[in-house]
Amino acid sequence: VLIEELGIAFITMHFLTPSIYYVVALGWLRSNKRSGDKTELSVDPPLVSVIIPTYNEAKAIIQKLNNVYSQDYPRDRFEVIIVDSGSTDRTVELIHEWIKGHDGINVRVIEEGARMGKMHALNTALKYAKGDIIVITDADSAWTQDSLRNAVTWLMTDGVGAVSCNKIPRTDKDVEAEYRSYYGLLRIAESRKFSSAIFHGELAAYRRDLLEKIGGFPMDVGADDSHTAGLISMLGYRAIIPENVRCIEYVPSKGYWMWRIRRAQHLIQHFLRILKYMVTNGKELPRDYRQIMLYESYLHLINPWLFVIGFVLVIISAMHGAIIPIVLILIGMVLLAIRFFRTWITTQVILVVASIRNLWNKE
Ligand code: GDP
Ligand code: MN
Protein backbone atom coordinates (compact mmCIF):
# COMPACT_ATOMS: atom_id res chain seq x y z
CA VAL A 1 0.00 0.00 0.00
CA LEU A 2 2.89 2.35 0.82
CA ILE A 3 4.45 1.60 -2.57
CA GLU A 4 1.15 2.34 -4.25
CA GLU A 5 0.65 5.65 -2.44
CA LEU A 6 4.22 6.80 -2.98
CA GLY A 7 4.05 5.93 -6.65
CA ILE A 8 0.83 7.88 -7.15
CA ALA A 9 2.18 10.83 -5.15
CA PHE A 10 5.40 10.97 -7.19
CA ILE A 11 3.58 10.83 -10.51
CA THR A 12 1.11 13.51 -9.40
CA MET A 13 3.92 15.78 -8.19
CA HIS A 14 5.80 15.18 -11.40
CA PHE A 15 3.02 16.55 -13.55
CA LEU A 16 1.78 19.19 -11.13
CA THR A 17 4.95 21.28 -10.74
CA PRO A 18 5.59 21.94 -14.45
CA SER A 19 1.89 22.72 -14.92
CA ILE A 20 2.10 25.28 -12.13
CA TYR A 21 5.26 26.75 -13.65
CA TYR A 22 3.55 26.96 -17.02
CA VAL A 23 0.68 28.93 -15.52
CA VAL A 24 3.14 31.16 -13.65
CA ALA A 25 5.00 31.75 -16.94
CA LEU A 26 1.76 32.67 -18.73
CA GLY A 27 1.26 35.24 -15.99
CA TRP A 28 4.72 36.69 -16.62
CA LEU A 29 3.91 36.92 -20.32
CA ARG A 30 0.76 38.85 -19.61
CA SER A 31 1.94 41.15 -16.84
CA ASN A 32 5.28 42.13 -18.35
CA LYS A 33 4.44 43.87 -21.57
CA ARG A 34 7.11 43.68 -24.18
CA SER A 35 8.64 47.09 -24.67
CA GLY A 36 7.66 46.97 -28.35
CA ASP A 37 9.44 44.87 -30.93
CA LYS A 38 12.65 46.76 -31.29
CA THR A 39 13.55 46.96 -34.94
CA GLU A 40 14.84 50.52 -35.20
CA LEU A 41 18.58 50.39 -35.05
CA SER A 42 20.19 53.30 -33.22
CA VAL A 43 21.67 56.07 -35.38
CA ASP A 44 25.13 54.79 -34.70
CA PRO A 45 25.22 51.01 -35.03
CA PRO A 46 27.83 49.54 -32.68
CA LEU A 47 30.73 47.50 -33.98
CA VAL A 48 29.86 43.81 -33.73
CA SER A 49 32.16 40.79 -33.81
CA VAL A 50 30.45 37.65 -35.06
CA ILE A 51 32.43 34.63 -33.95
CA ILE A 52 31.95 31.22 -35.60
CA PRO A 53 33.80 28.31 -33.99
CA THR A 54 34.41 25.44 -36.40
CA TYR A 55 35.53 21.89 -36.16
CA ASN A 56 34.98 19.85 -39.33
CA GLU A 57 32.14 21.96 -40.67
CA ALA A 58 32.86 21.60 -44.40
CA LYS A 59 29.23 20.63 -44.98
CA ALA A 60 27.80 23.69 -43.25
CA ILE A 61 30.27 26.56 -43.42
CA ILE A 62 29.50 28.00 -46.87
CA GLN A 63 25.79 28.16 -46.15
CA LYS A 64 26.62 29.75 -42.80
CA LEU A 65 28.85 32.44 -44.32
CA ASN A 66 26.22 33.27 -46.94
CA ASN A 67 23.65 33.55 -44.19
CA VAL A 68 25.78 35.97 -42.18
CA TYR A 69 26.64 37.90 -45.36
CA SER A 70 22.97 38.52 -46.13
CA GLN A 71 22.20 40.00 -42.71
CA ASP A 72 20.37 43.28 -42.62
CA TYR A 73 23.16 45.06 -40.73
CA PRO A 74 25.70 47.54 -42.15
CA ARG A 75 28.57 45.38 -43.40
CA ASP A 76 31.18 47.90 -42.34
CA ARG A 77 29.89 47.69 -38.78
CA PHE A 78 30.58 44.02 -38.22
CA GLU A 79 33.48 41.65 -38.57
CA VAL A 80 33.39 37.87 -38.80
CA ILE A 81 35.95 35.85 -36.90
CA ILE A 82 36.15 32.16 -37.63
CA VAL A 83 38.15 30.15 -35.17
CA ASP A 84 39.02 26.68 -36.37
CA SER A 85 40.64 24.04 -34.19
CA GLY A 86 42.50 21.80 -36.59
CA SER A 87 39.63 20.62 -38.77
CA THR A 88 40.64 17.58 -40.77
CA ASP A 89 38.15 18.20 -43.57
CA ARG A 90 38.09 21.08 -46.09
CA THR A 91 36.57 23.68 -43.71
CA VAL A 92 39.47 26.16 -43.76
CA GLU A 93 40.06 25.78 -47.50
CA LEU A 94 36.40 26.46 -48.24
CA ILE A 95 36.40 29.56 -46.03
CA HIS A 96 39.38 31.05 -47.88
CA GLU A 97 37.71 30.37 -51.22
CA TRP A 98 34.54 32.07 -49.98
CA ILE A 99 36.46 35.12 -48.76
CA LYS A 100 38.05 35.54 -52.23
CA GLY A 101 34.61 35.68 -53.77
CA HIS A 102 33.10 38.24 -51.37
CA ASP A 103 33.97 41.90 -51.03
CA GLY A 104 32.98 44.46 -48.47
CA ILE A 105 32.93 42.10 -45.53
CA ASN A 106 35.72 41.66 -43.03
CA VAL A 107 36.28 37.95 -42.40
CA ARG A 108 39.22 36.71 -40.44
CA VAL A 109 40.29 33.11 -39.86
CA ILE A 110 42.16 32.09 -36.74
CA GLU A 111 43.59 28.61 -36.64
CA GLU A 112 44.21 26.98 -33.29
CA GLY A 113 46.82 24.28 -33.53
CA ALA A 114 44.95 21.65 -31.57
CA ARG A 115 41.34 20.94 -30.66
CA MET A 116 40.69 22.15 -27.14
CA GLY A 117 36.93 22.57 -27.29
CA LYS A 118 34.50 25.25 -28.37
CA MET A 119 34.96 27.39 -25.24
CA HIS A 120 38.71 27.49 -25.58
CA ALA A 121 38.29 28.51 -29.21
CA LEU A 122 35.86 31.29 -28.26
CA ASN A 123 38.27 32.71 -25.71
CA THR A 124 41.01 32.70 -28.35
CA ALA A 125 38.72 34.57 -30.78
CA LEU A 126 37.79 37.07 -28.07
CA LYS A 127 41.41 38.26 -27.98
CA TYR A 128 41.18 39.31 -31.63
CA ALA A 129 37.63 40.66 -31.60
CA LYS A 130 37.29 44.43 -31.91
CA GLY A 131 33.54 44.71 -31.37
CA ASP A 132 31.70 46.18 -28.39
CA ILE A 133 29.21 43.39 -28.95
CA ILE A 134 30.25 39.76 -29.31
CA VAL A 135 27.91 37.38 -31.12
CA ILE A 136 28.56 33.65 -31.05
CA THR A 137 26.95 31.38 -33.61
CA ASP A 138 27.38 27.67 -34.34
CA ALA A 139 28.34 26.74 -37.90
CA ASP A 140 25.40 24.33 -38.19
CA SER A 141 22.73 26.99 -37.74
CA ALA A 142 21.10 29.87 -39.58
CA TRP A 143 19.54 33.24 -38.81
CA THR A 144 16.63 35.10 -40.30
CA GLN A 145 17.67 38.25 -42.11
CA ASP A 146 16.84 40.56 -39.19
CA SER A 147 18.33 38.41 -36.41
CA LEU A 148 21.56 40.35 -35.96
CA ARG A 149 19.91 43.75 -36.12
CA ASN A 150 17.19 42.83 -33.66
CA ALA A 151 19.63 41.17 -31.26
CA VAL A 152 21.95 44.18 -31.30
CA THR A 153 19.06 46.58 -30.81
CA TRP A 154 17.89 44.68 -27.74
CA LEU A 155 21.43 44.57 -26.44
CA MET A 156 21.61 48.38 -26.60
CA THR A 157 18.68 48.55 -24.18
CA ASP A 158 19.37 49.52 -20.59
CA GLY A 159 19.85 46.60 -18.25
CA VAL A 160 20.18 43.98 -20.99
CA GLY A 161 23.54 42.18 -21.01
CA ALA A 162 22.92 39.23 -23.32
CA VAL A 163 20.48 38.20 -26.06
CA SER A 164 19.70 34.83 -27.63
CA CYS A 165 17.19 33.53 -30.17
CA ASN A 166 13.94 31.60 -30.53
CA LYS A 167 14.55 28.34 -32.28
CA ILE A 168 12.64 27.51 -35.40
CA PRO A 169 13.16 23.77 -35.87
CA ARG A 170 14.22 22.28 -39.19
CA THR A 171 13.77 18.58 -38.81
CA ASP A 172 11.59 15.62 -39.65
CA LYS A 173 11.50 14.53 -36.06
CA ASP A 174 8.23 15.78 -34.60
CA VAL A 175 9.60 15.18 -31.10
CA GLU A 176 11.92 18.10 -31.66
CA ALA A 177 9.25 20.46 -32.99
CA GLU A 178 7.00 19.96 -29.98
CA TYR A 179 9.89 20.35 -27.59
CA ARG A 180 10.64 23.72 -29.10
CA SER A 181 7.17 25.23 -29.02
CA TYR A 182 6.54 24.42 -25.34
CA TYR A 183 9.98 25.47 -24.16
CA GLY A 184 9.97 28.42 -26.55
CA LEU A 185 7.10 29.95 -24.62
CA LEU A 186 8.91 29.47 -21.30
CA ARG A 187 12.04 31.16 -22.69
CA ILE A 188 10.09 34.25 -23.76
CA ALA A 189 8.13 34.41 -20.51
CA GLU A 190 11.28 34.12 -18.39
CA SER A 191 12.90 36.81 -20.52
CA ARG A 192 10.01 39.16 -19.82
CA LYS A 193 10.33 38.45 -16.11
CA PHE A 194 14.12 38.80 -16.02
CA SER A 195 16.35 36.29 -17.83
CA SER A 196 15.92 33.11 -19.83
CA ALA A 197 17.29 30.11 -17.92
CA ILE A 198 18.62 28.69 -21.17
CA PHE A 199 20.53 30.25 -24.10
CA HIS A 200 21.10 28.88 -27.60
CA GLY A 201 24.37 28.43 -29.49
CA GLU A 202 22.64 29.40 -32.75
CA LEU A 203 22.83 33.03 -31.64
CA ALA A 204 24.25 34.20 -28.35
CA ALA A 205 25.07 37.92 -28.20
CA TYR A 206 26.87 39.52 -25.28
CA ARG A 207 28.06 42.93 -24.22
CA ARG A 208 31.82 42.72 -24.42
CA ASP A 209 32.47 44.61 -21.18
CA LEU A 210 30.35 42.08 -19.30
CA LEU A 211 32.16 39.13 -20.90
CA GLU A 212 35.38 40.63 -19.63
CA LYS A 213 33.88 41.12 -16.18
CA ILE A 214 33.06 37.40 -15.91
CA GLY A 215 36.56 36.49 -17.08
CA GLY A 216 35.72 35.31 -20.60
CA PHE A 217 33.75 32.22 -21.55
CA PRO A 218 33.46 29.59 -18.80
CA MET A 219 35.54 26.54 -19.66
CA ASP A 220 34.27 24.10 -17.07
CA VAL A 221 30.55 23.86 -17.86
CA GLY A 222 29.22 22.14 -20.96
CA ALA A 223 26.29 24.45 -21.67
CA ASP A 224 28.58 27.36 -22.48
CA ASP A 225 25.88 29.63 -23.90
CA SER A 226 23.41 29.12 -21.05
CA HIS A 227 26.10 29.39 -18.43
CA THR A 228 27.63 32.58 -19.83
CA ALA A 229 24.12 34.06 -19.80
CA GLY A 230 23.75 32.87 -16.20
CA LEU A 231 26.97 34.51 -15.07
CA ILE A 232 25.87 37.78 -16.69
CA SER A 233 22.44 37.53 -15.03
CA MET A 234 24.08 37.04 -11.68
CA LEU A 235 25.85 40.38 -12.20
CA GLY A 236 22.35 41.90 -12.36
CA TYR A 237 21.97 42.21 -16.15
CA ARG A 238 19.19 40.56 -18.11
CA ALA A 239 19.93 37.73 -20.54
CA ILE A 240 16.88 37.61 -22.75
CA ILE A 241 15.29 35.78 -25.65
CA PRO A 242 13.00 38.35 -27.31
CA GLU A 243 10.35 37.07 -29.73
CA ASN A 244 11.72 38.97 -32.70
CA VAL A 245 15.13 37.31 -32.62
CA ARG A 246 14.85 34.00 -34.44
CA CYS A 247 17.25 31.30 -35.53
CA ILE A 248 17.22 27.92 -37.17
CA GLU A 249 18.95 24.89 -35.77
CA TYR A 250 19.87 21.96 -37.94
CA VAL A 251 19.13 18.87 -35.92
CA PRO A 252 21.55 16.05 -36.70
CA SER A 253 19.94 13.04 -38.34
CA LYS A 254 22.71 10.71 -37.28
CA GLY A 255 23.38 10.18 -33.58
CA TYR A 256 20.23 12.05 -32.59
CA TRP A 257 19.73 10.41 -29.18
CA MET A 258 23.33 10.73 -28.08
CA TRP A 259 23.17 14.37 -29.13
CA ARG A 260 20.08 14.90 -26.98
CA ILE A 261 21.73 13.20 -24.01
CA ARG A 262 24.90 15.29 -24.34
CA ARG A 263 22.85 18.48 -24.50
CA ALA A 264 20.90 17.42 -21.41
CA GLN A 265 24.13 16.63 -19.58
CA HIS A 266 25.41 20.12 -20.32
CA LEU A 267 22.21 21.74 -19.06
CA ILE A 268 22.36 19.72 -15.86
CA GLN A 269 25.94 20.90 -15.28
CA HIS A 270 24.76 24.48 -15.82
CA PHE A 271 21.88 24.22 -13.33
CA LEU A 272 24.02 22.47 -10.71
CA ARG A 273 26.58 25.24 -10.92
CA ILE A 274 24.02 28.05 -10.67
CA LEU A 275 22.35 26.27 -7.72
CA LYS A 276 25.71 26.21 -5.98
CA TYR A 277 26.03 29.98 -6.40
CA MET A 278 22.49 30.44 -5.12
CA VAL A 279 23.28 28.43 -2.00
CA THR A 280 26.56 30.21 -1.26
CA ASN A 281 25.66 33.83 -2.08
CA GLY A 282 22.04 33.77 -3.11
CA LYS A 283 21.16 37.05 -1.42
CA GLU A 284 23.33 38.98 -3.84
CA LEU A 285 21.54 37.60 -6.90
CA PRO A 286 18.56 39.34 -8.52
CA ARG A 287 15.32 38.07 -6.94
CA ASP A 288 13.52 37.40 -10.20
CA TYR A 289 16.49 35.45 -11.48
CA ARG A 290 16.57 33.32 -8.33
CA GLN A 291 12.90 32.52 -8.74
CA ILE A 292 13.34 31.45 -12.38
CA MET A 293 16.39 29.34 -11.64
CA LEU A 294 14.77 27.62 -8.66
CA TYR A 295 11.87 26.45 -10.82
CA GLU A 296 14.08 25.48 -13.74
CA SER A 297 16.71 23.64 -11.76
CA TYR A 298 13.99 21.71 -9.95
CA LEU A 299 12.41 20.82 -13.31
CA HIS A 300 15.72 19.68 -14.78
CA LEU A 301 17.39 18.06 -11.79
CA ILE A 302 14.68 16.55 -9.59
CA ASN A 303 11.35 16.38 -11.38
CA PRO A 304 12.44 13.77 -14.00
CA TRP A 305 13.38 11.38 -11.18
CA LEU A 306 9.91 11.65 -9.66
CA PHE A 307 8.50 10.34 -12.91
CA VAL A 308 10.93 7.45 -13.28
CA ILE A 309 10.72 6.35 -9.65
CA GLY A 310 6.97 6.90 -9.53
CA PHE A 311 6.56 4.89 -12.71
CA VAL A 312 8.48 1.92 -11.30
CA LEU A 313 6.46 2.01 -8.05
CA VAL A 314 3.17 2.21 -9.95
CA ILE A 315 4.17 -0.75 -12.13
CA ILE A 316 5.10 -2.80 -9.05
CA SER A 317 1.79 -2.12 -7.32
CA ALA A 318 -0.15 -2.73 -10.53
CA MET A 319 1.48 -6.13 -10.75
CA HIS A 320 0.15 -6.80 -7.27
CA GLY A 321 -3.31 -5.98 -8.54
CA ALA A 322 -3.77 -2.49 -7.07
CA ILE A 323 -6.63 -0.76 -8.90
CA ILE A 324 -5.54 2.91 -9.10
CA PRO A 325 -2.07 2.11 -10.49
CA ILE A 326 -3.65 -0.06 -13.19
CA VAL A 327 -5.99 2.79 -14.11
CA LEU A 328 -3.05 5.21 -14.14
CA ILE A 329 -1.11 2.99 -16.51
CA LEU A 330 -4.12 2.72 -18.83
CA ILE A 331 -4.53 6.51 -18.82
CA GLY A 332 -0.83 6.88 -19.57
CA MET A 333 -1.09 4.50 -22.50
CA VAL A 334 -3.99 6.46 -23.95
CA LEU A 335 -2.14 9.76 -23.46
CA LEU A 336 0.80 8.38 -25.43
CA ALA A 337 -1.31 9.03 -28.52
CA ILE A 338 -0.73 12.73 -27.88
CA ARG A 339 2.53 13.92 -29.36
CA PHE A 340 3.23 16.44 -26.64
CA PHE A 341 2.89 13.77 -23.94
CA ARG A 342 5.28 11.45 -25.79
CA THR A 343 7.78 14.27 -26.13
CA TRP A 344 7.51 15.12 -22.47
CA ILE A 345 8.12 11.54 -21.35
CA THR A 346 11.07 11.19 -23.73
CA THR A 347 12.64 14.33 -22.33
CA GLN A 348 12.25 13.09 -18.75
CA VAL A 349 13.98 9.84 -19.56
CA ILE A 350 16.79 11.71 -21.38
CA LEU A 351 17.32 13.95 -18.35
CA VAL A 352 17.60 10.96 -16.02
CA VAL A 353 20.00 9.14 -18.33
CA ALA A 354 22.00 12.37 -18.71
CA SER A 355 22.37 12.94 -14.98
CA ILE A 356 23.61 9.37 -14.53
CA ARG A 357 26.05 9.72 -17.43
CA ASN A 358 27.35 12.97 -15.93
CA LEU A 359 28.80 10.87 -13.09
CA TRP A 360 31.55 9.52 -15.30
CA ASN A 361 31.55 11.48 -18.55
CA LYS A 362 31.09 15.26 -18.52
CA GLU A 363 32.45 15.84 -22.06
P1 GDP B 1 26.12 20.59 -30.52
O2 GDP B 1 25.18 21.23 -31.49
O3 GDP B 1 25.90 20.98 -29.11
O4 GDP B 1 26.20 19.12 -30.70
O5 GDP B 1 27.58 21.13 -30.82
P6 GDP B 1 28.31 21.20 -32.25
O7 GDP B 1 29.14 19.98 -32.44
O8 GDP B 1 27.35 21.56 -33.34
O9 GDP B 1 29.29 22.42 -31.96
C10 GDP B 1 28.85 23.74 -31.89
C11 GDP B 1 29.81 24.62 -32.68
O12 GDP B 1 31.10 24.59 -32.10
C13 GDP B 1 29.98 24.16 -34.12
O14 GDP B 1 30.11 25.27 -34.95
C15 GDP B 1 31.27 23.35 -34.06
O16 GDP B 1 31.95 23.33 -35.30
C17 GDP B 1 32.05 24.13 -33.03
N18 GDP B 1 33.04 23.33 -32.28
C19 GDP B 1 32.85 22.19 -31.59
N20 GDP B 1 34.01 21.80 -31.02
C21 GDP B 1 34.95 22.71 -31.37
C22 GDP B 1 36.36 22.87 -31.10
O23 GDP B 1 36.98 22.09 -30.42
N24 GDP B 1 36.98 23.97 -31.64
C25 GDP B 1 36.32 24.87 -32.42
N26 GDP B 1 37.00 25.91 -32.92
N27 GDP B 1 35.01 24.76 -32.68
C28 GDP B 1 34.34 23.70 -32.17
MN1 MN C 1 25.19 21.69 -33.45
Query: pLDDT per residue over 313-348, tens digit each?
Result: 999 999 988 899 899 999 999 999 998 899 899 999
Smallest CA-to-CA distance from 49 within 166, 165, 178, 205 is with 205
Residue 177 has pLDDT above 70, yes or no: no
Output the residue whose Cα is nearest ligand 1's atom 6: 138
Residue 236's pLDDT is 94
Ligand 1: list residues with CB < 6 Å: 53-55, 57, 83-85, 115, 117-118, 121, 138-140, 201, 259, 263
Q: Taking the model in full, what pTM does it have?
A: 0.93
Query: Is the distance from CB of 290 to CB of 194 less than 8 angstroms?
Result: no
Output the residue whose Cα is nearest ligand 1's atom 19: 118
- Amino acid 10 reads F
Residue 39's pLDDT is 58
Q: Residue range 282-294: average pLDDT?
A: 90
**What is the best residue among 50, 54, 136 to mutate for testing ligand 1's pocket, by most ligand atoms within 8 Å of CB?**
54
Ligand 1 centroid to residue 138 C-alpha, Å = 7
Q: CA–CA separation, 48 vs 269, rounded Å?
A: 30
| pLDDT per position as a tens digit, 37-51 | 555 666 689 999 999
Beta bridge partners of 163: 205, 240
**What is the best residue among 50, 51, 55 to mutate for testing ligand 1's pocket, by most ligand atoms within 8 Å of CB?**
55
Smallest CA-to-CA distance from 21 within 185, 170, 152 is with 185
Confidence of residue 14 (pLDDT cuts 50, 70, 90): very high
Smallest CA-to-CA distance from 21 within 299, 305, 287, 239 is with 299
Atom of ligand 1 nearest to the CA of 141: 14
Q: Are strands 133-136 and 48-54 parallel, antiparallel or unpaired?
A: parallel
Q: Which bound ligand lies closest to the C-alpha atom of 60?
A: 1
Ligand 1 centroid to residue 177 C-alpha, Å = 22
Confidence of residue 282 (pLDDT cuts 50, 70, 90): confident
Q: What is the mean pLDDT of the chain?
A: 92
Confidence of residue 172 (pLDDT cuts 50, 70, 90): low
Residue 197's pLDDT is 97
Atom of ligand 1 nearest to the CA of 116: 23
Residue 1's pLDDT is 75
| pLDDT per position as a tens digit, 108-157 | 999 998 999 999 999 999 999 999 999 999 999 999 999 999 999 999 99
Residue 363's pLDDT is 77
Ligand 2 centroid to residue 228 C-alpha, Å = 18
